[in-house]
Amino acid sequence: MLFVEATWHARQAGLTLTGQLGDVMKESHRFALSYVRGHTSDLDIEPTAFEDRAFPRPRPRGAIPKDGPSAGVTMVTALTSLLSDRPVKHTVG
């Protein structure tokens, strides 16, 4: 099982990609933020939740390296949980 955490910082809005990420993982992070931003009403997130916030890339706890297209849904889930202030159910996996 891989636990992923997402955070935000009060500063210039956007996504910060740090570390050595593969191209697929970078694309997954960008897609996740774009998807959540474009589906705020469907996800019950206030559109203002993105104002003046920077989002460092969601990352696996313990710095376990991962890369692959399935990471996108994990990033969407982590960002949705963060921005809606709703925890992810323990049965999601």
What is the distance between the alpha carbons of residues 84 and 82, in angstroms, rounded to a whole number?
6
Fold of 4-84: Ribosomal Protein S5; domain 2 (3.30.230)
For residue range 29-78, list pLDDT tens digits in order.
788 888 999 999 999 999 888 887 777 665 555 555 555 567 778 888 88
Give, as one character, the DSSP assignment of residue 2: -
Most confident option among 7-11, 24-28, 35-39, 55-59? 35-39
Its pTM stands at: 0.72
